[in-house]
Structure 1
Amino acid sequence: MTVTGEHVEAPAPPRTPGDLMSRAQRLRLVLVLGSLIAIGPLTIDMYLPALPSIATDFETPSAAVQLTLTGTLAGLAFGQLLIGPFSDAVGRRTPLLAGLALHIVASALCVIAPNIGVLGTLRVLQGLGVAATSVVGMAVVRDLFSGSEFARMLSRLMLVMGAAPVLAPTLGSELLRWTQWQGVFVALAIFGLLLITVAALGLPETLPPRRRRRGGALDTARTYGGLLRDRTFLGLVLVAGLAMAALFAYVSGSSFVFQEQYGLNEQEFGFAFGAGAIGLITATQLNVRLLRRYSPQRILVTALVVGSLAGFALLGFAVTNYGGLPGILASLWVVLAASGLAMPNAPALALSRHGEAAGTAAALLGAVQFGVGAVAAPLVGVLGNGSVGMALVVVGGMVSALTVLVVVVRPARLPTADLAVATAALH
């Protein structure tokens, strides 16, 4: 530091590679990473309007078709556990390009899948492939930026992550005007080809060899073991996963509820689904403003209480059919908005506890979220695929998340340092 008279100047924070990038370079980076991250939600949601058609074509129960969604989520969950530590050891480009290549091949093979079992297996491979885009996209931002710039770049990517699920079913429903359900997978394969070209030409390696972790499988296992022994971290991860379960109950059941029970066509379903997702996006953006006045744990508790109450209202509308489709949509909108407040705050509180292993902690968090979602998706089909089954899983996810938060995490006891770091990250 330097001293001038009695004035002491603090040393400037170390410059990161991102500090040297021009505005145009940052914009290009956001567009590239945003496109990479968007392929995950597109792969999950774009074929949702076609689920009833797939069930008809393969002459299989709707619950079996929903297992194809479970397969994608399971692939995403397992893939993140592998790719997170792997990308820390070998760099970002190799896992990314390999994952995109796997996604392209799996998407192309989905077009000619002869039965529901093969389609489900290929959906697992799709999930494994897009896990690389999710993990690497976030890791690249972490490699290049820190502090407020990191938060700013992350917030821009969160907008992309929020918009993609809104657009995906609408894009899928528009495609189904002109093609059969196989056309959705053709579009995903073409998008994958575009992305692998963009990534190969426009995304340099961001993790130099000197910063790579060389501990191998033993070091990875040791890190995961330390995370799993942290009761508060594990509880927050479960909270995030159970909130995600409520969301994926809606994702997996909505096409059957809206189209088969309430008679919406594929295009009307796309718009109804998008309206619900807008509630989720609006809440995530409102969260930034709320954090200026309230702590993350207070917002999290309130969101889960409101989400649980809205879930019970949804169940009441579903059982009695009082209010019809408007009652279902209104209560779902509140549940999704509550999820939009819970999902940023629970991960931020969890990751603030393990900055020394942020990549592995983020991989475990993502794996649990999508893993619990993978379990929730077929439950809706098992319970009958109507509004009652969907409502039961939604309210179960929300109430379970609130219970784990109160009993296991005990938010009032969270250290002040954790809250400060989490609030800074969410801003």
Structure 2
Amino acid sequence: MHPSTSASIRTILPLALVTGVSMAAMDLYLPAVPALQLGMGISVPLAQATIAVYLAGLAAAQLLWGELLNRLGPRRCMEVGLALLALTSLGCALAPNIETLLVLRLLQGVAAAAATVVAPSVVRATLADADVVRGIAAISMVEAIVPAAGPVLGALMLTVVDWRGTFWVLAGLSLLVLPWVVKIAPRQLPGLNLAHDASYAAILRNRSYLRLALSHALCIGALLTFLASAPQLLQHALGLGSSAFALLQVLGVGSFMLGASQSGRLAKRLGHARVVRLGASAQVLACTLALLGASLGHLPYAAVVAYWMCFCGSLAIRGPATFVDALAVPPAQMGRATAMLILALLAAGALGTQLVAPFLGGEGSAVPVFCGVLVQLLASAALVWRYPAPPAAR
């Protein structure tokens, strides 16, 4: 094995694992929500609030960890984040009432946000250019697997433990990966120069970063918009149930993993600009065809599956290259740049989901969903069609 390949694996694997553990705090927990409701004797809205406050903490803490990355360094951020994730998981497992659980779930979201900021920053800053796309792709693969496998594993766990057992497992996983991640995370980002202007204003003045970050955020926003709307779309427009959505998820994840396994090789062979344009074109074409079928009143399930597989596979090809080029900023800016990028994609997903939500529930719901997705994809493609030079990382 080539030395650089071995070094990249030692860096990527622990960071991918810690990303997976952080995401499991949501996806492993989801099946336990009804059991929590019954166990605590609370209402459905209160039980669902344990999901909402976690997401609120995750989103709000992006900027917090972006600030702390330079001040504490990647290693200390990972130590604090994973330790807090373990402690809050233990607290959730022992929570005596819903009020305590809600506070701890909020803090759990704050803890999980450390991985979303630190992991890609470390990969971008420490790996050679030949390995960095592959590193981001590997983390993306974990981010695709956990939402698909987490609820299944969580449901299986509930056959042997109650809802509190989910949090005991999360605490154990956090402590298990902590020593490994701390060992490979650098004390500070390589080349860090704190004299460099790392203000948000300076980052936003970088037009290349802005275009690449917005393009990636809109692409992920399109994904989240469709994903959040798909269960209602399948039920009301196609008359299908949860099993159809589950199959759609499995096929989408499989397509993403296949694309991600090739993204590094394609980026090296074709160049980042061509790979991103290729992925964006495929997504726009697939969505346009799906919208046309929906407009004609004939959209079979097979067409939805074909669209989703094309979308996910194309995202896996274009996404890592876009993400890597967006973060080609000075190390002093990397934490804040990553935080703003993650926050932007979460916001795009939330906004897109809410904009199409009023149109769901009828037989024609497929048309507004695909319209909303297509608008985001067209804007995303337009931002990178004349591919901006990656931000200078001086």
TM-score bracket, shorter-length normalisation: 0.7 to 0.9
Q: Distance in 1 between matches of 2:329 and 2:190?
A: 25
Structure 2 counterpart of 1:37: 19
User: Which TM-score applies when normalising by structure 1?
Assistant: 0.70
Structure 2 counterpart of 1:168: 150
* Partner amino acid, structure 1, of 2:316: G
Q: 2:186 matched to 1:206?
A: yes
| Aligned mate of 1:345, from 303, 318, 321 | 321
CA-CA distance at 1:269 after TM superposition: 5.6
Q: Distance in 2 between matches of 1:209 and 1:136?
A: 10
Q: 2:240 matched to 1:262?
A: yes
Q: Distance in 2 between matches of 1:209 and 1:292?
A: 25
* Partner amino acid, structure 2, of 1:411: W
CA-CA distance at 1:53 after TM superposition: 7.7
Q: 2:239 matched to 1:239?
A: no
CA-CA distance at 1:242 after TM superposition: 1.4
Cα pair distance change 1:251/1:53, threshold 3 Å? farther
Matches within 5 A, 1:18-417: 23=6, 29-48=11-30, 59-60=43-44, 65=48, 71-108=53-90, 110=92, 122-142=104-124, 144-148=126-130, 150=132, 153-154=135-136, 156-178=138-160, 183-196=165-178, 198-199=180-181, 203=183, 206-207=186-187, 214=194, 220=198, 222=199, 224-254=200-230, 262-264=240-242, 270=246, 272-291=248-267, 294-314=270-290, 322=298, 324-352=300-328, 357-377=333-353, 383-384=359-360, 392-393=368-369, 395-403=371-379, 405-406=381-382, 409=383, 411-412=385-386, 414-415=388-389
* Mapped contact 2:290–2:299 kept (Cα < 8 A): no
CA-CA distance at 1:129 after TM superposition: 1.0
Per mean C-alpha deviation after superposition, the further-off stretch among 328-337 and 254-263 is 254-263
Per mean C-alpha deviation after superposition, the further-off stretch among 347-356 and 234-243 is 347-356
Cα pair distance change 1:150/1:234, threshold 3 Å? closer
* Partner amino acid, structure 2, of 1:307: Q
* Mapped contact 2:291–2:367 kept (Cα < 8 A): yes
* Partner amino acid, structure 2, of 1:264: S
In our comparison, the structure showing a higher alpha carbon Rg is 1
Per mean C-alpha deviation after superposition, the further-off stretch among 117-126 and 89-98 is 117-126
* Mapped contact 1:240–1:401 kept (Cα < 8 A): no
Structure 2, gaps ≥5 residues long:
none
User: Which TM-score applies when normalising by structure 2?
Assistant: 0.75
Q: Distance in 1 between matches of 2:32 and 2:265?
A: 38
* Mapped contact 1:143–1:206 kept (Cα < 8 A): no
CA-CA distance at 1:151 after TM superposition: 5.3
Cα pair distance change 1:118/1:377, threshold 3 Å? farther
Q: Distance in 1 between matches of 2:42 and 2:101?
A: 10
What percentage of residue pairs aligned between the two structures are identical? 25
CA-CA distance at 1:36 after TM superposition: 0.9
Structure 1, gaps ≥5 residues long:
1-18, 423-427
After superposition, the C-alpha distances for 1:175-216 in whole angstroms (9 at most, x for unaligned) are: 3555566654443333223333554xx62662259966556x
Cα pair distance change 1:322/1:177, threshold 3 Å? farther
Structure 2 counterpart of 1:15: none
* Mapped contact 1:246–1:395 kept (Cα < 8 A): no
After superposition, the C-alpha distances for 1:93-129 in whole angstroms (9 at most, x for unaligned) are: 32212212332344455565966x9877655433321
Count of residues paired in the alignment: 387
